[in-house]
Each structure stands twice: as C-alpha cells, then as structure tokens.
A and B are shown apart, each in its own frame.
Chain A
Amino acid sequence: MRKLFCYILSMYLCLSVMTRAENFTISGYVQDASSKESIIGATVVDKRTQKGCVTNEYGFYTLTVEAGAKHLSYSYVGYDPQSVNLVLTRDTTINITLESNTVLRDVNVTASQKLYGAEGSQMSTIHVAIDQIKAMPAIGGETDIIKSLQLLPGVQGGSEGSSGMYVRGGAPDENLLLLDGVPIYNVNHMFGFFSVFNADAVKSVTLYKGSFPARYGGRLSSVVDVRTNDGDMYNYKGNISIGLISSKFQVEGPLWKGHTSFSLSGRRTYADLLIQPFLKMIGRGEQMENLTAGYYFYDVNAKITHQFNNNDRLLATFYMGDDLIYANIRDGVSEFENSTFKGKNESWFKTRWKWGNIVGALRYNHTINSKMFLSASLSYTQYRYNMTLGMEQKNMLFSKNTNSWITDEGVSIGAGYNSSINDVSAKMEFDYSPIAGQNLKFGAGYTFHAFRPGVTTSQFHYNLSENQNNQIDTTYGNANIFAHETSLYAEDEMQLGEYVKMNVGLHYATYTVNRKFYHSLQPRLSLRVKMYEGLSLKAGYAYMNQYVHLLSNNNISLPSDLWLPITDKVPPEKVHQASLGVFYDLGTEATFSVEGYYKHTDNLMEYRDGATFFGSTTDWDDKVSIGRGWSYGVEFLVQRTVGKLTGWVAYTWSRSLRQFDREGHVVNGGRVFPSKYDREHDVSITLSYKIRSWVDVSATWVYSTGNCGTLPLQKYAGVDTKGNIVTQDYISNRNNYRYEDYHRLDLGVNFHYHGHFRKLLHTWSISAYNAYNRMNPFLIYQTRGEGGHVNLTKLTIFPIIPSISYTLAFDTSK
C-alpha cells in the first residue's frame, strides 16, 4: 500500500513538472444574467487548446492556460453560450452572465453533462437538475429530492415510500447529506416518507456514489450535496403552493439591489388540522371533554447573500424544521352528589414528541487573486429529539356548605426524554489554479461534536391529603460524549495532454473521542482517458472511513434513532471502493454510461440476533456485531438532458453480501448472507415530455427485486429446562426470504397558464402515485387464523394515491 502510494505521488510530481510552462490565469464568476444567481457546474473551455474547467459550488472558476490568443466559451445547459476572445498577457478576471436560453427555457434539463459525462474526470457522480425533480410525480404531490435520487442507478430506497437511501449496498447512515456544505443528521420527515429538503429552496443536487473527491469525508457510501438558492439580486419572485399534504411558499429578491439578496421558503403539512373534526366526533362518542391529536411537520429555509464587490461575498444560510406528534385527552367522568358534597373525577393525558434539525452557516468567499479562491465557513448543525408525557388524575369534591371545590386527591406523573447531537464546524477551503491544466483544491476543517445520547426526567406527585404529599423529581441519563474531528485534504484536477485527465487527492482525518485518537489517510483517484470525441474510459478508487454510527431500526425511521461515535468495541468502518466505466456522449443532448464497481467494507456493524432497538443508548455496542461486507454491481444509465422529451433510463445489477464470523460477533452462524437491501435487479425509467407550452406530462416506472427478510420456514418441537415440549421457529438463514418484486408507475401532468397578469403563472399539477395500484409489500407479518393456523399477511401502505396541487408563481421581471 505504501509502495503504491509513493509510486502515485512520484508520478504525480513528474506530471506536474512536465506540464509547467509560462501561464496566466483567467478567473471570475459565471452567473445568471437575470437574477445574478451563481451557476454551479458551468463549463469554461479554451477552444483553441480544449483546456477547460467548471465553476465550483459558488459559481467561481479559475483557468490557467498558456499565454497567447484565447477563444473562451462559457456554457451551461439551458443557457445561451457566451464566447470571449482575448490575447492573454497577464492574469485576467472575467465575470460572465449567461442568458437563459429562450428555446430551452421551457424544457426540463437534467444534467451538467460536461462535468460528469464523457468530458469530466469525475465518475460515479450524477447531477440532477431541480427542474427535473419538480416535474416528477410524487406521493401526495409533494416533490422529494431524496426519492428522486432513489431513481438513479446504484441508489435504492428502503421500505416502500421511505426516504432512506442505500447506495451501492451501503446503509442509510453511510450517506453524507449536505445542505450548503453543512451535514444534516436526520433528513427524514414523517418517519422517512419525506425528506427535509424543500425542492423550492434548492438550486442544485449532486450525488457522489464513488471515487469521491478528497474534499469529502466522514461517510462510506455517498455524498449528497444540496445547494440552496442564493436569491435574485434584481427582481422579486416566488410562489405559493397548496397541495393535499402540505402548503408551501418561496420568495426571493433583492434586499439591496445588485448587492444583497434573500431567499425564504417554508412549508407545513396540515393533516393534523383536517383530522380535528373527526377526533371531536370520536371524543364525544367516548364521553371525553377534549380530544386533540395530530401530526405535522414544518420547515423553513432562509438565505441571505451579500456581494461586497467582485471579490468578496458573504452567504448566510439557515434551516429549521421539526416534526411534532401531539395528543391531549381530557376526561370528565364519575360525577356523584349527596346532601353535603358533590364530586367529580377528572383525568388528562398529554404527550408530545418533537424532533428536528437546525442548521446555520456563515460563509465568506474571497477571490484572493486570479489563481486562488477562498471559502471560509462557520457552521452549526443540530438534531434533537424531545418526548414529554404527562398524566394527571384528580378526584374533586365540592362542598355545598362552603360552596367551593376541594381537591381531595390527585396524582400527576410526568416523564421526558431528550437527546441531541450538536456540531460546530469551521472550515477553510481553497481553489488554486497554479499552472495550465491543473486545478488544486485544498483545505482544512475542524468539527466539535457534542453527543447527548439521552436524558430522562420524571416527576411524580401524589397528593392524598394535606398530610400525605409525596413528590419525586428525578433526572438521569447517559453522560454527554464530546468528540473532536479534524480533516485536511488536497486534490488536484490535472489535464495531461488531450486525452488524459485525472483527479488525485488525499484526505486525512482525525477523530478524538473518549481520550482515544483515531486517524486515517484516505487516497482518492479519478482517471479519465478520452478514446475519441464523446467517448471516455474512466476509473476511480476511494478509501473512506466513518467515525459515527446511527442506531436505527432497519424498517422505519424513528425519531429516537441516535447518532453515536465509535467506541472501543465498535471501531471505525472502512471501505475500499473501485469503479470502472465507459461514458459516451450521444450528441449534445444525451449521455450513456456503464459503470462497474466493487466495494469491500470492514468493521461493518450489524445488530446481533435478537437485539431490540428501544433503549439502545446504554451499552449499545454490546448489541452489535462487527464484520465485513461486499457489494458489487454494474450500472447502466441513458440520460437525455435537452429537448421536449427528457429523463433517464437506469438499470442496476448488484449484490450486497455480509459476513460476521469473528469471535464473539457471530451472526447467522458465521455464514455469508445477503444484506436486507440486496436487490439483484433495479430498473427505473423517468420521462418528462413537454407537449405544449402550457402542458407537460411525466411518468416514472420503477422495478426492483424484492427486499430480503427473515422468515421462519417451519416450526418444530424443542424442550425447556423442565423437560416440557416448546414450539420453536426454524430459520434456515438470515434474510432467507425475498419479498415479491417491487414495481409501480407514477404519472403526472402539469398545466400552466398566465391568466390576466403576465407576472403571475398558475400551475395545476395532477398526479397519481402507483397508478396501476400495485400492492407492494411494506411489511410481511404472521397472524393466527382459524384452527391455530399461521397466515402470512402483507401490509401495503401506498396503494394508488391521486393528488392535486395548485401553485401560483410570480416574477416581477416579466
């Protein structure tokens, strides 16, 4: 390993020297001409030398080329390309604005193909345009970014409707989900049926499945980089949307024209409001004075961008979202009366579960010089879970003599549970283009983690009479855990001649927890060899480490799921992933790719036989086994990015296997078994078609091999300690049963019209989730039928679900 590393390093240095010449740098921002919104992934190419680069996450580019006459082309899908001719004699700054293409503006675009198609060195990476995500049909009409990503090759959803992501055989906690560069620990709303990413607030989504750039670390399987809207610097625009599940709004515009912009969006579900009339009816039937209960979630995204000058920008991002379950029940029962007293027994029950994320980030971007760009950030992320439960019973007496109520007896019980994880991070990142054909990114970061695994409070108050009054207040819980994480990285994107491009990087991470120090040096490599125009061969390798684990139920996302750091018994998970692929650009409109990958994961964590998930915060590491896993597969993707018909067809063949045979960590007798989400075949077809300017239709069809489950095939007799015969289940193997194949078709149609006011755009969206009402299994369980016979029952939670939503959008620039 060390020899290989030295060899790669020496080769890299030789190549760097070989490419050195007299060079100058062109740098600047690429922005939308109308809103001045920065464009991520725009391509900048010198047509004469075919050397180029793409804009970074903030729309900044830096291109170092040899001195002389240059013909620069700036392009991005959906925008008219811009050309600039110049004779380069010194470092130059060129800020470019691209006009939205009048022909392509009304069609959906799906990818920045130059960056991730045959041209770029990056592989196992897919950029999905937010317009395409919004056009997809979805449950209840609520577009979801994570569910859209589940349609990509190599990405699988968990249970039906869940927002869990299983990337190339990895578990959901192996995905790094970033909102403007800040990790979000729990991306689930509504037990995983929706994600926290509000599509209205999002500008771009990029998924990395393998050959990760060195700037990313901390997770094994994927990185989802979600960037939010900066806000329009010149015009006000926004929309209000009303759907069956939720309503939402988004508004953006200038706070100081040309200098400061804002973007604000929010949404809230209202099933809890609709359900109240029925609860009142139920409450009346049950003789309850009051019965209120419900569930809702909300989230708010806000962003302010201030441009001091061409070189300095300040961006402030804020996200807050919560899920809340509540129930209040008040009884009025058992009234009695005699000549002296009348009495009443009253009781109430109140519970409240609340969980959610808070994310805040302050980022300062500075162009140090034409070769170097700095992004410094301070960020905070929190996931918290809070549960309170209260009960009170009062036996009340009314004295007719004194004409007043006397509380005679009362009992009140209260309990609460709190857990949270809080991270404070500081990061410095640099983009540096020292010589022609090279773009260097390097940086450092520090994160302070505060894990609060669980604190329980309980109050007990018992009042029998004035002389018998007992009160107990108790607080107990697990000790807070503090961890320090640092990272250093450097990656270099190199153009080596006309055909070879590579991205070489190193990521060094340290983690200190419970006075133990862990560290890892993680090499990364992406290589592209252009066979001829439009056809490339790519290869990639990444080594990743993960220092935190999610204690979670595999079947459904519970708010009590806890993130905890590594311990003496649970070492860091490590993965080596290698991938190889062919990328072919089918003209300018479509791409085709085939990728094969192999992943080997060590120190993989799996719950032991019989482990239960509740109360797992104490000695949780005794409930898990440590083993290893393998995933491999081939992914095919055909993607059309421009035109009236856009979308993709994806097919994945893959396997995901696990083995736990270490002493004291044996699962399944030490034999290899398929992971829960091992799916051999996975197909998704996503299409959007613009019929007219006022109507477009979309369809999504997915098919996959069913999930694995463990099924007792037979029952047999065992014997207990007293010699009695007892019934036992016979399980041949863990995950020995495969659910029936999963497939469904979603359909959607959108109607747009302007009405009387040109600035207003009305959109009606009608969609059907699971249009042919396929009864896909969410869960299979045993029931006892007549004669004691066991039956298997399949629970389907999403049959056909039609939905309709209305959106009113306004844009003052029109």
Chain B
Amino acid sequence: MTKKIRHIVLFALLTMFVVGCTTPIDLPEKYVGERQLVICGLITSEQPVRIKLTKSVSMLEYNGSFPMVDGAIVRLIVNGVTENLVQDTTGFYCSTMVAHAGDSVLVWASDGQDTAWVSAIMPSAVELTIDTVCEKREFLWTMQYRRDSLGNYVKDSAGQYVRDTMGWNLRLYYDAKVSFPDPANTKDAYIASAYHFYEFEDDDFSKPTDEQPKWNTVTYVSASNLLLSELGYDVTTTNFTSDTLRDGKVLSYTIKPYCLIDRTSIGLSGQVRHAYMVAKVYHTNHEYYRFLETANLSSYTGGTGFSSILGEPVKTYSNINGGLGVLGVQTLSVDTLVLY
C-alpha cells in the first residue's frame, strides 16, 4: 500500500512538470478581417479561358470548401477585346476566347460588394527541340514454354520442352535532351513535362478474326509537370530553385526515362510499331511561379509558424489586386522525338 501511495505521489509530481495544459482559444474579431474576393485561373494557349471565383473564409470557419460567387460580373479583356464570362454549372466563369503568346490579358471581377482584377501578358512560345543524347537498342525474341490445358509443360518427341515464339520485342535505352532559348526580358519560369508514346499492334487472340489489326496507343509519363526555374534544375527531383535571369541563353535539361520501351515489362502482347517521346514546355508568368514556389514552401513547414514550431512561416504569393488568389498564364510549346 505504501509503495502504491509513493508511486501515485511520484506520478502526480512528475505529471505536474511534464504535462502541459491545452486550452482552445478564440480568434479576436480584429484578426479575422473581411472576406475577400478570390480569383483563380490558369490560362493556357491551348484552351478557352476559365476562371474560378470564390470568397476567402476565416480560418476558424473553414470546413474544406470555399463559397462560390454566383452572379458576379467577370470580364476578360484580351488585347482590348472584352468578353463577359458566363458561369457554367460547375461554378467556373468561362470564355470562348483563347489567349495566345504575346496577348495582353486582364481579368476583372465584381460580386457587387468587392472588386478584384489581375493582368498578365501571355508568355511567348519557346523554340523547343528534343533530341537523344545516347541511345542503345536491343531487339529480343520473346518466347515462352508451351503448357497444356492442365498447366503442365509440353514436351516434344525428343523429350525437349516445346517453346512458342511470341514475337520480337524492343528495348531502347536513351537519354533525351530538351533545350530552348530563354526569350524573355523578365524572370521566367517553365513547367515541363515529357511523355513516352508507344504504338503497338493489338494482336489480342480473343478479338474477332474478321477485324483488322489496330494500332493502339499507350502513354507512359516519365517526367510530368516539373516546375523549372531558370538555373540548374534537376528534373529527377521536384525541388524549386532560385530564379535567375538567363535571357537569350539556351536552357536545357536531360531526361533519363526510368521506363524502357520493353513490351513484356508493360504486359503487352502486341508488337511495338512506333515509339515517340513528346516534350511539352509551358512558358509561365513569373507571378504564377512565385505562387507555386511559396505554396510549396508553405506545405513544407506545415503552413504557418503556429502549426510547425520548427519552420518559418510563408506568405503565399498572390497577384490579384483587391483580392486574393492567383492568375497563371502560360504558353505551350511541344516537340516530338521519334524513338522508333
């Protein structure tokens, strides 16, 4: 009994020192601030403009969604031509216009209470080239041992296992070098991606015999949506690097595909007819790059100094005047390399 009491006393004393107290607290009104109009959009040279219009919410009221702004006036002005955007069923305000390289874009929005706007210049397209740096091809015959309906291996009259030839296979090893000159006078950022395309002959035995063989396409992505700044970007990582002017100089990066063109490794039974590599580079406005960079940093440190005592807080960049959000503009450049 005495021992138990001693333990209880010791535990109580220890708890007093070790265990702190937590108390929920309110956020005083002065810190909450007014809800702000939020413009979000990523305008590309490929498709018509779509803008999302929402309102910011107080941190303590946030429940995973943002209030949509219905019935707002949203205007898109491209090179002086104005269009009132129409709200679709998903809440986006949509345009019929497509902005192209060099276009001046202005988005203006008002919900009757607040007004916000943002302007940007569509970046120029880059002269993209893709080439192989090194290449090694291997042609392999793919065979397998024949089995009977019970799954047992079949032997021929000589007692050897019977092999069936399934067709030839290609293994292709290469490094692809993507390069383009930096054309702008201001800081630029690029979002790059690279894809493998395979065309193979569909020889599925189960298909009806009267159908002609078709060429199907399978896409494998080796490097996708990599945000490039202008210096020393390593495409094997997703780290952000500092933005440095390189006007007029050629930027290049090398892609080492982790996925070889190996039919059997991807479980296909047809013959590979063609293989391509496609490189895409979005030339992006610097403001959007800053947004992505700060948003990425914010996620590293848990968002704020309050949620992570081991990191400094990050203020996510916004290029919206009179509100929050971000408008990214980007122009696409594409080049294709025929590998086989």
On A, residues with C-beta under 8 Å from B are 140, 244-245, 271, 274-275, 277-278, 553, 555-556, 607-614, 664, 668-669, 709-723, 725-734, 736-737, 740, 775, 777-782, 787-799, 801
Contacts and interface: CB of A to CB of B under 8 A. Distances in A.
Contact of A795 (B20, B27, B66): B20
B205 interface: no
B307 A782 contact: yes
Contacts of B58: 713-714
A545 B26 CA distance: 43
Contacts of A731: 304, 313-316
Contact of A271 (B14, B25, B306): B14
Contact of A610 (B11, B41, B311): B311
A613 B40 contact: no
B95 to A, nearest CB: 15
29 contacts: A277-B10, A610-B298, A610-B312, A612-B312, A664-B242, A668-B315, A669-B315, A709-B305, A710-B313, A711-B27, A713-B31, A714-B33, A714-B36, A714-B57, A715-B62, A715-B66, A716-B57, A717-B38, A723-B42, A725-B52, A727-B62, A730-B36, A734-B315, A781-B307, A781-B309, A788-B62, A793-B24, A794-B23, A796-B21
Contacts of B26: 792
B92 to A, nearest CB: 10
A440 to B, nearest CB: 47
A669 B326 CA distance: 17
B1 interface: no
A555 B309 contact: yes
Contacts of A715: 56-57, 59, 62, 66
Interface in B13-45: 13-14, 16-17, 20-27, 31-33, 35-36, 38, 40-42
A497 to B, nearest CB: 54
Given A711-B31, A716-B56, A278 B312 contact: no
Contact of A714 (B7, B25, B35): B35
Contacts of B21: 775, 795-797, 799
B24 A792 contact: yes
B60 interface: yes
B54 A717 contact: yes
B59 A712 contact: yes
Nearest to B300: A610
Contacts, number: 209
Interface stretch (B246-254, B255-263, B289-297): B289-297
B316 A732 contact: no
B109 interface: no
Give the interface size bracket for B toward A: 35 or more
Contact of A789 (B40, B52, B61, B227): B61
A556 B328 CA distance: 39
A789 B298 contact: no
B20 A611 contact: no
Give 10 closest A-B pairs by Cβ, nearest first.
A610-B297, A716-B56, A710-B313, A797-B20, A714-B56, A610-B314, A788-B64, A731-B315, A612-B311, A609-B314
A535 B7 CA distance: 60
A310 B300 CA distance: 65
Contacts of B312: 607-612
The B contact surface, by secondary structure, is mixed
A613 B300 CA distance: 12
A734 B304 CA distance: 10
Given A271-B14, A610-B297, A790 B310 contact: no
Contact of A790 (B35, B62, B298, B324): B62
Contacts of A714: 32-33, 35-36, 56-59, 324
Given A555-B310, A719-B325, 15 more contacts: A610-B297, A613-B310, A614-B310, A710-B313, A711-B31, A714-B59, A715-B66, A722-B225, A729-B59, A730-B56, A775-B23, A781-B306, A781-B309, A789-B63, A792-B60
B301 interface: yes
B191 A721 contact: yes
Nearest to A612: B311
Chain B CB within 10 Å, residue with most, of A608, A719, A723, A799:
A719
B183 interface: no
Nearest to B330: A721
Contact of B306 (A245, A718, A733, A780): A780
Nearest to A160: B20
B52 A553 contact: no
A612 B16 CA distance: 31
B324 A729 contact: no
A741 B107 CA distance: 44
A278 B310 contact: no
Nearest to A737: B31
A612 B22 contact: no
B298 A729 contact: yes
B319 to A, nearest CB: 11
Contact of B42 (A274, A719, A736, A790): A719
Chain B CB within 10 Å, residue with most, of A610, A709, A777:
A610
B303 interface: yes
A718 B59 contact: no
Nearest to A710: B313
A779 B25 CA distance: 12
B66 A277 contact: no
B295 A795 contact: no
B23 A793 contact: yes
B220 to A, nearest CB: 18
Given A609-B294, A725-B52, A794-B25, A711 B306 contact: yes
A719 B40 contact: yes
Contacts of B20: 778, 795-799
A315 B303 CA distance: 54
A719 B66 CA distance: 13
Contacts of A711: 27, 31, 59, 304, 306
